[in-house]
Amino acid sequence: MSQGSSWGRALSLSRPAAIKQILSWLRELWRKGAAILPKGLYARSALIVIAPMVILQGVLTYVFMERHWQLVTTRLSTVLTQDIAALIDLYGADPQPGSAAALSRIAQDRLKIDADFLPKSALPPALPKPFFSIVDAALSNEIRRQIGRPFWLDTVGRSNLIEIRIQLDDATLRVVANRSAAYASNSHIFLLWMVGASFVLIIVAIAFLRNQIKPILLLAGAAEAFGKGRDPDFRPRGAREVRQAGNAFIEMKRRIERAFEQRTAMLNGVSHDLRTILTRFKLSLALMGESDETQDLQKDVEEMQRMLEAYLAFARGDAGESASQVDMHDFLEDLRLDAERNGHDAKIEFTGDPIVAVRPDAFKRCLANLIGNAQSHAKHIAIEASRDQRFLTIHVDDDGPGIPPSAREDVFRPFFRLDESRNQDLGGTGLGLAIALDIARSHGGDIGLTDSPLGGLRATVRVPV
């Protein structure tokens, strides 16, 4: 709909409806404006400083032009016209050739204008009015008011001079005066000062802004690095509020690290104590000699131990390991060989530069968990990896039963298992995917589950490189 007709509609609406309509236009305008405005903090604060300065300048310049410049020019024009009017009056009182010459001389000596009384002739055709000239308008006004005779004006022709011709009863008076006699001509210096000064101010403002914004960027960088599992070297700097935010971040980071340590320590303790008991258990069983009962017990004890190892792995996380350059191709090849040794059919495909920085043990555990899951649920496994400028992406595909979309979030929760509800016991603990996700996140990445082209589940690990 065109703007015109919607205006018309708004005008014909009742008052509250019209107000609502106008408000919605304003909101629209605000949204569009916000979309154009810069997004970065630096650009925004620069705008906040610069915009008022430019507006202030504009207003000042306008007021100066409008009031001061115009006023001075009008005064100067008045004075020049007064001089000319006096010459005309004197000439009128004694219109002799001799007095004309005397008047010209006085005008030259005392009034600093060239005045010649020429034989009467028609005035040249009027020049086109210059587009922006206060002096033309001011002089015309004054001559019309004070002298009231036909005149001709050239304020443009020769830049430094203005020429005025006035038709008298029996002669034509030609006056050539300096432009500065009628015109406040040095005002461009004012403009120059203004533009120059604000230029300096803007540069100073930008330099200071840069210093104010740097600590905020550092804080953002530190938070991002911490999120990706790196340990940022960060010290709060800058303005009080920014330092406050920085200290709060450090405090939060410490609390998270402490919680992590506590979790690890507790689970380690529990696992260690139970392991000791389990070892004693196994020893006693071995001493009891073979029987059906002891065999069952032994199996239970072994399962318990396997679960304990899984808990331990979860508890340990990948703490302490540092990243190193790894050849991803060899890395995946090892995992594929493991899968083949377990009697599975596995394929790998790799594109891009294979050298990637990861924490090798942790990353291997992450992939091994995904491939292990595929092994327990499917026969065929395909691993497809690619690396581009920003990400290393690894798809683990299988042709098993897959995971229904509604459960794809839950399976990442520790101890959550679908196998129980599927009534199959593959001896899992429900920790595999939780551990894998932990590791991917600590590399700054993520794991997603989708349908595989093979028919089963596709698990996708994506980490930034």
Ligand X SMILES: Nc1ncnc2c1ncn2[C@@H]1O[C@H](COP(=O)(O)OP(=O)(O)O)[C@@H](O)[C@H]1O
Asked if residue 238 binds ligand X (CB under 6 A), the reply is no
Least Å from the CB of residue 326 to ligand X: 23
Closest CA to 445 of 370, 379, 377: 370
- Which residue is closest to Mg ion by CB? 432
Q: Which of 147, 168, 176 is nearest to 92 (CA)?
A: 168
Distance of closest approach, residue 387 Cβ to Mg ion, in angstroms: 26
Binding partner of residue 377 among ligand X, Mg ion, none, CB cut-off 5 to 8 Å per kind: ligand X
Let me know the angle formed at the C-alpha of 411 by 383 and 405, rounded to the nearest 5 degrees: 80
Query: What count of other Cβ atoms lies within 10 Å of the Cβ of residue 70?
Result: 15
Give 116 or 419: the residue with its C-beta nearer to ligand X: 419
Q: Where does this chain touch ligand X (CB under 6 A) — which range of 12-20, 165-173, 201-209, 423-431? A: 423-431
Interaction partner, residue 215 (ligand X, Mg ion, none; CB < 5-8 Å by kind): none
Q: Which of ligand X, Mg ion, none does residue 401 bind to, with CB < 5 to 8 Å depending on kind? A: ligand X
Nearest to ligand X of 232, 455 (CB atom):
455
Window of 120-128, 152-160, 311-319, 427-435 that interacts with ligand X by CB under 6 A? 427-435
CA-to-CA distance for 289 and 297, rounded, in angstroms?
A: 12
Three-state secondary-structure class, residue 276 = helix
Which residue, 374 or 394, has its beta carbon nearer to ligand X?
A: 374
Residue 190, SS3 per DSSP: helix
Residue 454 interaction partner, one of ligand X, Mg ion, none, beta carbon < 5-8 Å per kind: none
- 400 contributes a contact to Mg ion by CB under 5 A: no
Q: With respect to ligand X, which residue has the nearer C-beta, 354 or 455?
A: 455
User: In 3D, which of 385, 401, 404 has the Cα closest to residue 393?
Assistant: 385
What DSSP assignment string belongs to 104-129? HHHIIIII--EEEEEEP-PPPPPPPP
446-465 positions binding ligand X, by CB under 6 A: 456-457
> In the sheet that 151-154 helps form, which strands lie side by side, from edge to edge?
114-119, 171-178, 161-167, 151-154
The token pair that represents 305 in the structure block: 């131990």
155 or 373: whose CB is closer to ligand X?
A: 373
How many residues belong to the site for Mg ion (CB under 5 A)?
Answer: 3
At residue 322, what are phi and psi to the nearest 5 degrees?
A: -110, 155
Please, what is the minimum distance in Å from the beta carbon of residue 367 to ligand X? 12
Q: Which of 68, 188, 272, 443 is catalytic?
A: 272
**Smallest distance, ligand X to C-beta of residue 456, A:** 6
In angstroms, rounded to a whole number, what is the distance separating the alpha carbons of residues 79 and 139? 10
Verify binding: residue 411, ligand X, rule CB under 6 A: yes
Residues 365-384 contacting ligand X, CB under 6 A: 369, 373-374, 377
Beta strands in 206-314 (DSSP E): none
Interactions with ligand X, residue window 106-165 (CB under 6 A): none
**Is the CB of 284 or the CB of 424 nearer to ligand X?**
424
Distance of closest approach, residue 396 Cβ to ligand X, in angstroms:
8
Q: For Cα atoms 83, 86, 91, give the angle at the middle one, nearest 5 degrees.
A: 130
From candidates 215, 238, 246, 432, binder to ligand X by CB under 6 A: 432
Q: Is 272 marked active-site?
A: yes
Minimum Å gap between C-beta 394 and ligand X is 14
Cβ proximity of 183 and 139 under 8 Å? no
Please identify, among the stretches 56-64, 65-73, 105-113, 400-408, the one whose residues bind ligand X according to the rule CB under 6 A: 400-408
Q: According to CB under 5 A, which residues from 421 to 440 bind Mg ion?
A: 428, 432
Q: How far apart are CA 222 and CA 253, in angstroms?
A: 10
How far apart CA 443 and CA 362 sit, in angstroms, is 10
Q: CA-CA distance, 199 to 59, in Å (whole number)?
A: 17
Distance CA 58, CA 87 (A): 42
At closest approach, how far in Å is the CB of 323 from ligand X?
A: 25
Distance CA 204, CA 290 (A): 88
Query: What mask of x and - would describe binding to Mg ion in positions 176 to 215, judged by CB under 5 A?
Result: ----------------------------------------
Cα(324)–Cα(326) distance, integer angstroms:
6
Query: Of 248, 246, 242, which is closest to residue 213 (Cα–Cα)?
Result: 242
Residues marked active site are found at 272
Residues near ligand X (CB under 6 A): 369, 373-374, 377, 398, 400-403, 411, 417-419, 428-434, 456-457
Residues near Mg ion (CB under 5 A): 373, 428, 432
